[in-house]
Every structure is written in structure tokens, then in C-alpha cells.
Structure 1
């Protein structure tokens, strides 16, 4: 049976018992864990053979198979730890990969707005079911073992703020500001004046409301703007730029425009920090199920696709950090919280939506654990002297920010200003 051969090629350790729609049993592999995949119709066998990377997730969303002895995370863990299987259609599409990837990642302003609305205009109530209290929808930073999700997200904001060398009064731009958490953190703890831009009307409304609630609306401004149109009117306007979890939506064809925009909006001593999902194993293409149902137009780049564009833009890469399993741990927390609030999510949407989201969270976590996904933070500047000569300033800044959050201090040490590099 072709499907048995396909699953055997994909499967890692453990035993998979396949029960087809006609009741036939097939044992694939040996050892534990022992899972059973029960197909509920004959057509799903054909679909999985033709294009498993797309149809497997669709079949799960639509309840066309069930799993016994575990859940979708367990099954995906077994299948994703083996060789990736394309299927007939998948192999044909992969042969056209360079052309297809360029088309899939072509994100002019109108399409970028549509792509963002697809994912980020879901209700705030839904995201509150599984995110931390500050609504950080990006990789947390587990600086110590045993941190809670809230603690790790707070550590992420400190870690990024420390790399930005902000002193009170600096003008900061947050590209892709989400629900405003990072912008509000920077204004509250560094004394910066922050502008956040987003393409999500839902996120914009929440961010503006939060700024008023926090008493920071005089120092934080949020706008519904695309970075490209915004850059044209704000040349040299910012001391610092931060972008967290937005670069994945830019698309390789637009990297040059993106980094040129960052360069143009920074002043001569400006510094920017870009935080993005990436790939450890080189350029590839976005999983077709993720592209269709979760992040249309999205792509996680390899550093080999990003650094040459930074070099050509005239910006200087002044620091680079690769966070490997931090996002896997973040997604583990999100998945556990989502599962615990399944009925609440179902009341907001429906069972199919919940199964789609469960598949996304499980598959994404395993992509970071098993398939070479990571997060990188690249710091860039316009001049060699914009940051200190050593990385010690980052550790010192994180300690000060941790103290500030405990009410001990609200400012960074003067020794970490750019002038200390001289």
C-alpha cells in the first residue's frame, strides 16, 4: 500500500498502527510510542498521497482521521522526526521552488494588509486565552530554567531593550507593534518616546486603549501604517528602531526595501534590532498548510538570505544572536494554555477552527525542536561607533531593567550610552 510506504518513510521511532477506512490494519515500525491512526474515508488516503504537507493538516481540521494512544502533537512528533515526505504534487511544486517562493512572498502594501488581517484581526479575547498577560505574540526568552511564560516574555522585552541602548527622550519606532506591549514597555522603563505602526486594525485599537490605560498616551503613539509609506515621510526621524515578529511577513523580494527603509528612518547614530524567526539549514519554502491557513505571504528566512541584504543597504551588522529552543518552549506554553481553554475558543469560533489552531501550535513547536527553525536577533547601526566595543553593556542593562521592574530604578546606566564606545 502506497500510503503505508509514505508513512514508513516519514516516521521516526515508535510504532504507528494504520487503520484504513475499509478496516484493514497495517503496523508500521516497532517500539514505543505506539499510536493508531484511523482513517474515516477512502478519499483521505488519496489526498495524503498526492500532497501530504497540505492535506494532512486539512484532514485533521475536518475530522477525517482520529488518533488513538495520543494526540496530534504525538503523531506529528513521530512523523516529523523522520524524513520529510513531499508526495507527487509536492515534488512537482518543489521543482519550481525558486519561482514559486518569489510569487508566494510578493507582498505589496495591499496584499500585506490583507495577510495581516487574515491572522491578526482575530478577536483579542481569543489571543488572551493562550498568550501571556502582556499579549506578547512572539518568542519568549527563557533566561533561566523554570520561568513562567509571563516571566519569559518580560525577560524577552528586557533583552531587546538592553540591546537598543535607549536613554530617556530618545525617539523609537516599533515596526509591527502588535498589541503595543513592547512600545509601552520601552516608554515606561527607558523614558523613550515611541511610535508603533501596524497593519492590523484590531491590534491598533487595543494598543491605543492600553496606552491610555497605562497613562502613556503622551509618550506612545500608534498608527495604522505600512513601513514603506511611513519611511518616506520620516527620514532620519528615529534614534532607535525595533521590530519583533514582523520580518517574517516581509518576503524575500522586499528585503531590500525593508532594510533601506530602516536605514533611511534612523539618524546617523541610530541603532535597530530585528527579531525574527529563521532557519538554521538554509533557504526553503513555507509549509503549504501554514501558508494557506495561518500566515499567507509569510516566510522564515535563513541568515544567508538576510545578511547580504543588510550589507548592500549600507547598514552595519553590529550584533547577532541565535535563539534555538526558546520558541519551542514558548509554543509549548501556548499549546498547553490553548488546550486548557479549548471550549472557550470553540465558543468564539468552532471545532474546526480549534483543530486548525491545535495543529498549527503543535506543528510549529516541533518545527523548532526537530526541523531547524530558530529565532535570530540582529542589531544594525549606521555608524561603527553607535554601540560600545564589548557586549557587557547588554548584561548591565538587563540587570538595571530587572531592578526597574522591581521598583528600584527606572533609568539605564549612563555608561551604556553610545558615547561610552569612544
Structure 2
């Protein structure tokens, strides 16, 4: 059966339910489990509601978390351009304040009864997590990192490509591929840090080792990378050995608060500070300051939020429950202030927002092109989590709701000498 929905079939009732909430027509085409359809026939976005259970998920959590649970579990699916469909769904469940009066509530109840959508809340998908204990203890931080990064190195290889770099790439004029753009990013960090042969550099949150390998191979630096993920460390050590750089690179499973073998000449933190949390930023910045010699530089590369928008990713959000437990995004001013309060002199800030949107779209393309292998290596639910989160983040960067910045600080000597070049052109040369 394939017809335009009426109030007597599933799609028609869903249409009535959404219309009651939105106060407007459905912005996408919906096909339900009984074959009925509703919404504009020529809509660019097409959503499939495969099971009635999806509606119970949304009734119990009428926000992004309910929608995410329905998608991750396979209760709903997308049969059109994924980015376009997410953009339309955001219009329906976008966190806006809805004026739900008595008439709207009545229509919602009627639609819910016709759909037999009322009942106990379904069990969340297995991929959902809720951590316990005090926030940002070393034990809890380790659990949060493990949840996200210990999904499987082979899975990440499918998504990230050969560079195995899980942070914003830099799409300069020479970058034709994701691999080119990731190489451009790590080289940009090396140049901002002023790396040269014989220097000691610490990479906090080293991931799979891409930056430390580049710093050692291209600049002759002695590099130490620390991560809380055992899977990442194992993979990074293997890459280091295969590159013949074991005499220059050391990989540790270690919290940044436990590093005690300073001083270092330079420190990079690429995509790690989002896990620290605002309350711990002073501790984080001071720990890195204390590990540097006078004249040493810190490059902090982190996602930021606008002032007054979404203070934390915690709570009942898709990101907190499925992707980055306990992650927090801070305005760039908060990050700069924490670094400066620790004693650093801020010398350069660069925004890369559009670059991250391009990077995320490239990761989504990799995942979609290797979908069957991704499901085999993890689970269909986990692959769905990554597709949803990366696509949604790409859209969020594109509309400017969040940004990403590289902040360069220097630990000036007691005399005030910084050792920094006088111009930004010289810094980047």
C-alpha cells in the first residue's frame, strides 16, 4: 500500500501529530510501517518510520535524544540526502520553545491513540551510556574516553582514512584530499610551535599518533604522545615502529595530570580540551604551563561554542549519551582566559570553522562508502551513531552555531623575552 496519508492510517496520524506540535505543515515526506505516506510528494527529505516503537521513543523524549534513540535503534531511517533530512528534522525537533495549548494537547492525544503509541518507554539502544561518579575524576575521564575511542581501530580507519587523524583538517589551497588537508593541519601546528631538530614536544591527547610522527619525521623533534585510550596507544606504537621512529617517539597511556618529565620545548593539544570541562580548565592550563621551559609554546586546538549557547554537552543530549560523555564546549574567550590566567602570553588565535564542516562531510562520505564494513566491525547501532553525530555536527559548523580555534600561547621568560617572531608571516613560514 502506498498512498497519501489520511487521519485513519499511520502516516496521516503522524502528520496530524507533527502538525499539532509545529502549527504548520510537515516539511518532509514520511512513509510508515503500514505503507502509508504523508507530507509533500516532492519533498527533498524522506523519512521512513519502520516501527511504531519510534513514536513511543519520541513521546517519552520529544527532543533530539528521542529522535537519536529512534534512529540508532533502526526504528526510523532516511531514504534521501542525509544532510537535507537532518536539516528538516531540526525544524521539527530543534529545541525551540513550543506553545502547547489545550487544543494542541488534545490533537496530540488523539493522534497518539490512533497510532497506539502510548505505553512504557522503550529500553534505550545498547550504544547509550550514562557514567557515574564525580565529574572529571581521572577514573571517570578514562571511562568517557574509552567509550568514544575504543570502538575499534579498524572502524576508525574506515572513517578517518589513512591519516587516522580525528580532528579538524586544514583545507588550504593545496589540499585536494582529506589526507592532504590533515597533513596541512599537523604541519601548521608544527610551524606555529616553531619545531626544529632536537626539540622536545608533548602531544596531549595524541590519538593514533599522526602529529607526533609528523613532528619527528619532518622536523626531527623528540615527541611524546599521551592518551587515555589503550587501543589508540597500541595502534600509535605500531605506526611509530613501522615508520622507523621509535628512537624519536614515545607513546604513553597517561593522563595529562600525570606527566612529570618536563620541561618540554613545545606542547600541542589538538581536539583534547573539549574533554577537560570548564571547571578543570585552570588545572589543565596550569599543568601544561608548568611542563614548558621559558620560551616554550602551547598550541591549543579546540571546538568552541558561542557565548550563551549550549553551555555544556552534558545531560539528556545525544552527544552526551552516545558520543562524548562529559564533554564541554567553552567560548573561545573562556579558553583564552584560562590559558592566559595560567601564565601564558597569547600570541595568535585562528578560527577554522568552515574547515571542520568540510572535514566532517569527508568523514561521513567515508562511512557511507564503507557502510557494510563499518557495521561488521562494530554494530549497526554504533555505525548509525557516528553517521548521525558527524552529519549533525557538519550542519552545526556550517550555520555557525559552533566554531573551532587554534590558540597559540608562549611561556615568556622572566625578562619578558618570548622568542617569538615579530610577524605572523614569519611565524607560519
TM-score by length of 1: 0.81
The residue matched to 2:202 in structure 1 has which SS?
Answer: strand
Q: CA deviation at 1:146?
A: 6.0
The correspondence for 2:281, drawn from 255, 261, 277, is 255
Between the aligned partners of 1:210 and 1:22, the Cα distance in structure 2 is: 51
The residue matched to 2:27 in structure 1 has which SS?
Answer: strand
Q: Does 1:286 align with 2:297?
A: no
The correspondence for 1:111, drawn from 125, 137, 140, is 140
Q: Does 1:156 align with 2:156?
A: no
Equivalence for 1:265:
291
Between the aligned partners of 2:209 and 2:362, the Cα distance in structure 1 is: 21
- Cα deviation code 1:343-386 (max 9, x no counterpart): 11121122222222211221121111125222100001111523
Q: CA deviation at 1:331?
A: 0.9
Equivalence for 1:3:
18
The residue matched to 2:172 in structure 1 has which SS?
Answer: coil
Q: Does 1:48 align with 2:58?
A: yes
Change (3 A) 1:124 1:184: same
Task: Name which of structure 1's ranges 33-42 and 197-206 shifts more when overlaid on structure 2.
Answer: 33-42
Between the aligned partners of 2:266 and 2:247, the Cα distance in structure 1 is: 18
Relative contact order: is structure 1 or structure 2 higher (C-alpha 8 Å, sep ≥ 6)? 1
Between the aligned partners of 1:145 and 1:46, the Cα distance in structure 2 is: 50
Q: Does 1:79 align with 2:89?
A: yes
The residue matched to 2:403 in structure 1 has which SS?
Answer: strand
The count of residues paired between Structure 1 and Structure 2 equals: 373
The residue matched to 2:298 in structure 1 has which SS?
Answer: strand
Change (3 A) 1:283 1:267: farther
Change (3 A) 1:38 1:266: same
- Could you tell me whether the CA contact under 8 Å between 2:133 and 2:140 is conserved in 1? no
- Cα deviation code 1:318-349 (max 9, x no counterpart): 11001121011011111111111111112112
- Cα deviation code 1:287-308 (max 9, x no counterpart): 7111111111112221132122
The correspondence for 1:326, drawn from 355, 371, 376, is 355
The residue matched to 1:159 in structure 2 has which SS?
Answer: helix
Change (3 A) 1:33 1:56: same
Between the aligned partners of 1:196 and 1:157, the Cα distance in structure 2 is: 14
Which of the pair has more CA radius of gyration? 2
Between the aligned partners of 2:193 and 2:21, the Cα distance in structure 1 is: 48
Q: Of Structure 1 and Structure 2, which has the larger fraction of its residues in helix?
A: 1
TM-score by length of 2: 0.80
- Could you tell me whether the CA contact under 8 Å between 1:163 and 1:394 is conserved in 2? yes
- Could you tell me whether the CA contact under 8 Å between 1:176 and 1:197 is conserved in 2? yes
RMSD: 2.6
- Could you tell me whether the CA contact under 8 Å between 2:421 and 2:427 is conserved in 1? no
Q: Mark the runs of 5 or more structure 2 residues left unpaired by the alignment.
A: 1-15, 99-131
- Cα deviation code 1:40-94 (max 9, x no counterpart): 44453353243311010110111212334x1432211223368832579xxxxxx
Change (3 A) 1:338 1:330: same
The residue matched to 1:129 in structure 2 has which SS?
Answer: helix
Equivalence for 2:405:
376
Between the aligned partners of 1:125 and 1:190, the Cα distance in structure 2 is: 29
The residue matched to 1:172 in structure 2 has which SS?
Answer: strand
Q: Mark the runs of 5 or more structure 1 residues left unpaired by the alignment.
A: 89-102, 397-422
